Amino acid sequence: MRRLHPATVIVVILPKLREAVQAAVPVLVGSLASNHSVNGEWIGIGIGGLTGFFAIGAYWTTRFDIEDNHVVHRTGWVFRKDRRIPLEQIQNVNLRQNLLERLFRVATVDVETAMGKGRDLKLSVMGFSAAEQFREELLVASHLESSGPAKAEEPLVRLNLHDLTLGAFTENHLGQVIALQFILWGPVIGLVTKLADRLPPDLSAAAYAGAAFLMILGSWLWGVASYFLKYGGFEVRSGEHAFRISYGLLNKVQLVIRPQRIEYLQVMATLPQRWMGRASFHVGTASSFGEAGVLAPVALFVDRDRAYQSAAGVISNLDIAHLNWRPFEPIFYRAAVARALMWLAVFYGIGTLLSRAHMPSIALWIGFGLLAFLILLNLLGLFLSKAENGFAITDDALVVRRGYFHQRISAMPIARMENVAINQPFWWKPYRAVSLTAQAMKHRISAGAVSDKAAEELRQRWVEKIESRERLKAVEVSLDPIGFAGNAKEESQTIAGDATN
């Protein structure tokens, strides 16, 4: 049986310590601002000691290998855990390296199955060459690649520096901006409050507004830098049964995906990217891609037509450029307005209550003003995109297009749908409108408000797909009554497994 690399001990401890330091930063800044000292040495020693103990234990007790068409993984000393993952259930095999792992020339291997969250196998960490070798053995054993020498062919997609920079500046970083506000807001406003107390009222208001502007600008630039570092060196290569995606300047990620496992795809473009005729193309399988996210990028900042061609390569007959788009029902927009008004009323109510309770009112109103701005911006985007928002039902897929500032065209093959939810609030009934959500193993696609006829049409197509698949299965069984094909497949897997051992 194989073992992890000794660097596991350090690589596991340091990120935990980094998390502890990151969590302590707002407390430290806050304590500096309020002149209160924090004595967290003993807590730090406790966390460090415990993490170290578990890291040594993880290295010492973990064993893994490929045996009898399974990946075998054993770990634990007091509580022992023995896992066997059938090779045929493997969805993706990913290899990633953060900065620390690159320093020690080690890597983490993620073996992802469709068994759900928490059931994937994470081998952290292995020596880099051992990790690459193990991944190749796994790919061959699970029939994702042939056992021959790797072909040195040109990549299908490569992101050059010019496109990477443009992509970073034109991408949507709103998520990072909002997330960073939660970390920065308290400490920065604390510091500005101390400063504003010494300023005249007009200037103090300007100080708060300036701090808010700088925080938003800084967060957005942080988003630009993150994109640049995350997707630098992006390229996609085609394999025999799968394609390989690699990217990352600091943290390197290598994903291997088999196309027949794809159950969801998304073509995304922000407003500036649409002006430039560019888009990004992401896909999703039944499992996630670990820390790399739920969707895997297949093409970034490419020509829109090329992104559409890539989508057609995943779902047959999907011609996004010439789809028969149908608009959402008008009730969808009325419901969005009602929701926005409700949230504005709630924020106004909370703001009024807190300002009466002598909270620092200017900072408070700037905060709530920002939230109100985001709600109104979202509503504005919804109405600006009204002409383009819509859905399409093709022979093979449900496709939904939504968004103005950040447009997403999502598609799900009908054959991959597990269940369909059709909901109708009673006040939608006179309009004969329903909300429609289709769920595959991991991903779901929602089509806002559609007519009940359209929902029924999708249901019909879906049932027809199930019916035709079942008929095909029945024909296969009648042609091969003793299951020879299945046995042959199993045998060939065993031979491949033996060859790798």
Partner 1 sequence: MDEIERPDKNVLYVWRAEVLITWGILTAVALGIALFATLTLAAPAWFFAMVAVPVCFAILSLFLLRLRWERWTFQITPYTLEMSHGWLIRHRRIVSRNRIQHVDFESGPIGRKFDLVHVVVHTAGATVGTIPGVKSERAERLRTELMSGPKAL
* Cβ nearer to partner 1, comparing 222 with 431: 431
Torsion of CA 320, 326, 332, 336, to 10 degrees: 40
Q: Residue 418 Cβ, how far from partner 1 at the closest point, in Å?
A: 4
Handedness of CA 21, 25, 30, 32 (dihedral sign): positive
Q: CB of residue 455 vs partner 1: minimum separation in angstroms?
A: 9
Contacts of 284 (CB under 8 A, 6+ apart): 262, 263, 264, 265, 266, 294, 295, 296, 442, 443
* 308/462 with CB nearer partner 1: 462
- Nearer residue to partner 1 within complex by CB, 165 or 446: 446
Nearer to partner 1, 371 or 441 (CB): 441
In sequence order, the 6+-apart residues with CB closer than 8 A to the CB of 377 are 405
Residue whose CB is less far from partner 1, 304 or 442? 442
The least CB distance from residue 379 to partner 1, in Å, is 23
Residue type, 178: I
> Which residue intervals of 301-393 are DSSP H helices?
304-314, 331-356, 361-384
CA separation for the pair 341, 370 (Å, rounded): 15
Q: How far apart are CA 399 and CA 323, in angstroms?
A: 9
Q: Which residues of 229-243 are buried (b: 16+ CB within 10 A; e: fewer)?
A: ebbbebebbebeebb
Query: Least CB distance from residue 468 to partner 1, whole Å?
Result: 11
Residue (192 or 286) nearer to partner 1, CB = 286
Q: How far is the CB of 486 from partner 1 (least distance, A)?
A: 17
259: Cα within 13 Å, side-chain hemisphere:
15
Cα separation of 64 and 72, whole Å?
5
CB of 424 to partner 1, least distance (A): 4
Closer to partner 1 by Cβ: residue 364 or 420: 420
Question: Are the C-beta atoms of 435 and 441 separated by less than 8 Å?
Answer: no
What does the block give as tokens for 443? 């991903």
Closest distance of CB 475 from partner 1, Å: 10
Whose Cβ is closer to partner 1: residue 440's or residue 450's?
440
State which residue, 208 or 289, has the beta carbon closest to partner 1. Answer: 289
> How many other β-carbons are positioned within 10 Å of the β-carbon of residue 359?
12
273 or 435, CB closer to partner 1? 435
Helix (H) or strand (E) holding 410: strand 406-413
**Which C-beta is closer to partner 1: that of 177 or that of 414?**
414
CB of 265 to partner 1, least distance (A): 17
- Rounded to 10°, the helix 201-231/161-170 angle is 140
In the complex with partner 1, the residue whose CB is nearer, 406 or 442, is 442
**Looking at this protein, which amino acid is placed at residue 402?**
R
Burial class (CB in 10 A: 0-12, 13-18, 19+), 443: buried
Least separation in angstroms between residue 425's CB and partner 1 is 5
Q: Report how far residue 421's alpha carbon sits from residue 412's, in angstroms, rounded to the nearest whole number.
A: 15
Residue in 101, 126, 102 with CA at minimum distance from that of residue 110: 126
Region for 448 from its dihedrals, namely left if φ exceeds 0, alpha if ψ lies in -120 to 50, beta otherwise: left
CB of 472 to partner 1, least distance (A): 11
Binding site for partner 1 (CB under 8 A): 114, 116, 286, 417-426, 429, 439-442, 459, 462-463, 466-467, 469-471, 474
E strands along 239-314, which residues?
Answer: 243-247, 252-257, 264-270, 278-284, 296-303
Distance separating alpha carbons of residues 108 and 121, to the nearest angstrom: 10
CB of 284 to partner 1, least distance (A): 12
CB of 477 to partner 1, least distance (A): 10
Q: Minimum distance from CB of 470 to partner 1 (Å)?
A: 5
Is the CB of 470 or the CB of 491 nearer to partner 1? 470
